[in-house]
Chain A
């Protein structure tokens, strides 16, 4: 019997992306550059996070025309973002045939209580997390892939590092703790017990976990891999740099060879100015996208 949309098929899709770079693009031309540079997937957007920040107002799902143009332009998987809890945006993207949906805090949330019941969908979802409680809640709702939230559109890696450190540290704690202690820890984290139990049994997260939110250089990408990321999302970093193509290739190579420092030095030469970046402490609490999600 042929079964579509099973947990294995949805989580397996993310397994195939491992060790790779997923790039934000806003049109077919950028998508082609990303594919030629070795991206494993593209995220089709109307604006990259840095421009969403600058524009203000309500950020929504992209115009389907942009997503369709990108889908036609490349053979690698195409992802797209919907607002947190926006069932209809998600169903629309699924109907268009996008390969992965990011239920994303980069867009303005549609529901401040509930995330999507992602188990209901055939298309797989990726969600952001700052800690293991959040990560486990998203997996409990059916997310097939996770990513750190970081602080998108800032070009500042500090929040992505914080979130990856916290999640990986908490995973190690679960793996090493006595099973007697697991329920109390689930209560502390606000995490579904069965997901923590699965982590303990597997010795790792049950789904692929990428880094996202602030990666601006090849060294940033390699750093996130060393901290335990399975791959990286690069949003504003590539097409906000002076030499997008060279930059994209360098980030891909640094992600594969994240412990080969001589090579990282070589490929980091002459990349030009990376995006300027924002000091996180200068952001008002209301402007911190990572605070969105529950």
Chain B
């Protein structure tokens, strides 16, 4: 199994370390054609506006949409924003996850926090929330799997997993294993 990590900007090295701990081969994806070589894709944290500009500049968008429509994808923080269909006050990016998301929803950096929450089907998961988004509304096919107080911070929609927080900044590998299981299952069904 090989996991690709979109490496245009952001915490892609942290994701690489995170999945190396789980003995998974990773590829830093900088070119659209690399999407053909991987079984699952991580969209890391970072600045969604900066990533979007590079996605457009190098004709990544169509290939990304195609990939996200058929193979397992995991978006964290900015990655969740990139996947969402509706972004409050911002244009849509990839737009495959049927949710309305709000950027910097918990406030500025001084309001950034860490917390352990219960994720359905996984258990308690440590997360670091950095100028994090949350989801305000979900479509019928979207399963809410984690909340911080009343805010939706983790969802699953078929082959797509998205979290507001950064598991890659922790040593809690449960959610990484969950994503690996998603890929395993998908490979078997293929």
For A5, give its contact among B14, B50, B110, B166 (CB under 8 Å).
Answer: B110
Interface pair A8/B114, CB less than 8 Å apart: yes
Interface pair B11/A122, CB less than 8 Å apart: no
Is A228's CB within 8 Å of the partner chain B?
Answer: no
Interface pair B113/A9, CB less than 8 Å apart: yes
Contact with A along B71-90 (1 / 0, CB 8 A): 00000011000000000001
A13 and B30 contact, Cβ closer than 8 Å, known pairs A40-B46, A253-B54: no
Is B13's CB within 8 Å of the partner chain A?
Answer: yes
Interface pair B11/A15, CB less than 8 Å apart: yes
A99 and B9 contact, Cβ closer than 8 Å, known pairs A9-B114, A253-B54: no
A162 to B42, CA, bound (A): 36
Interface pair B131/A256, CB less than 8 Å apart: no
Interface pair A2/B115, CB less than 8 Å apart: yes
Contact partners of A76 in chain B: CB under 8 A: 47, 49-50
Interface pair A18/B9, CB less than 8 Å apart: yes
Is A69's CB within 8 Å of the partner chain B?
Answer: no
Contact partners of A77 in chain B: CB under 8 A: 47, 108-109, 131
Contact partners of A98 in chain B: CB under 8 A: 108-109
Contact partners of B45 in chain A: CB under 8 A: 15-16
Q: Which residue of A lies closest to B78 (CB)?
A: A16
For A19, give its contact among B12, B49, B78, B108 (CB under 8 Å).
Answer: B12
Interface pair B170/A8, CB less than 8 Å apart: yes
A98 to B90, CA, bound (A): 22
For B166, give its contact among A12, A35, A36, A41 (CB under 8 Å).
Answer: A12
Min distance, Cβ A100 to any Cβ of chain B, angstroms = 7
Is A193's CB within 8 Å of the partner chain B?
Answer: no
Min distance, Cβ A123 to any Cβ of chain B, angstroms = 5
Interface pair A15/B47, CB less than 8 Å apart: no
Min distance, Cβ A229 to any Cβ of chain B, angstroms = 13
Contact partners of A49 in chain B: CB under 8 A: none
Contact with B along A189-206 (1 / 0, CB 8 A): 000000000000000000
Main secondary structure of the interface of A (DSSP, over half): loop
Is B103's CB within 8 Å of the partner chain A?
Answer: yes
Contact partners of A6 in chain B: CB under 8 A: 113-114
Q: Which residue of A lies closest to B126 (CB)?
A: A8
Q: Which residue of B lies closest to A19 (CB)?
A: B9
A37 to B128, CA, bound (A): 28
Contact with B along A239-262 (1 / 0, CB 8 A): 000000000010011001100000
Is A117's CB within 8 Å of the partner chain B?
Answer: no
A7 to B65, CA, bound (A): 36
Min distance, Cβ B165 to any Cβ of chain A, angstroms = 10
Interface pair A123/B53, CB less than 8 Å apart: no
Is A54's CB within 8 Å of the partner chain B?
Answer: no
Interface pair B109/A37, CB less than 8 Å apart: no
A3 to B115, CA, bound (A): 7
Is B8's CB within 8 Å of the partner chain A?
Answer: yes
Interface pair B113/A2, CB less than 8 Å apart: yes
Contact with B along A1-43 (1 / 0, CB 8 A): 1111110110011011111100000000000000111111100
Contact partners of A37 in chain B: CB under 8 A: 53
Interface pair A13/B130, CB less than 8 Å apart: yes
For A256, give its contact among B9, B78, B170 (CB under 8 Å).
Answer: B9
Contact with B along A116-144 (1 / 0, CB 8 A): 00000011100000000000000000000
For B169, give its contact among A12, A41, A123 (CB under 8 Å).
Answer: A12
Is B181's CB within 8 Å of the partner chain A?
Answer: no
Is B10's CB within 8 Å of the partner chain A?
Answer: yes
Is B118's CB within 8 Å of the partner chain A?
Answer: no
Contact partners of B104 in chain A: CB under 8 A: 75
A88 to B47, CA, bound (A): 30
Min distance, Cβ B112 to any Cβ of chain A, angstroms = 5
Is A68's CB within 8 Å of the partner chain B?
Answer: no
Contact partners of A39 in chain B: CB under 8 A: 50
A9 to B11, CA, bound (A): 13
Contact partners of A4 in chain B: CB under 8 A: 110-113
A123 and B10 contact, Cβ closer than 8 Å, known pairs A9-B114, A13-B131: no
Contact with B along A60-95 (1 / 0, CB 8 A): 000000000000000111000000000000000010
Q: Give residues in B with beta carbon < 8 Å to A.
A: 7-14, 30, 45-47, 49-50, 53-54, 57, 77-78, 90, 103-104, 107-115, 128-131, 148, 166, 169-170
With A12-B169, A16-B130, A75-B49 already in contact, 5 other A-B pairs whose C-beta atoms are closer than 8 Å: A2-B148, A18-B12, A40-B50, A77-B109, A253-B54
The 5 A-B pairs with the shortest beta carbon distances in the complex, nearest first, are A99-B109, A38-B53, A40-B47, A19-B9, A38-B50
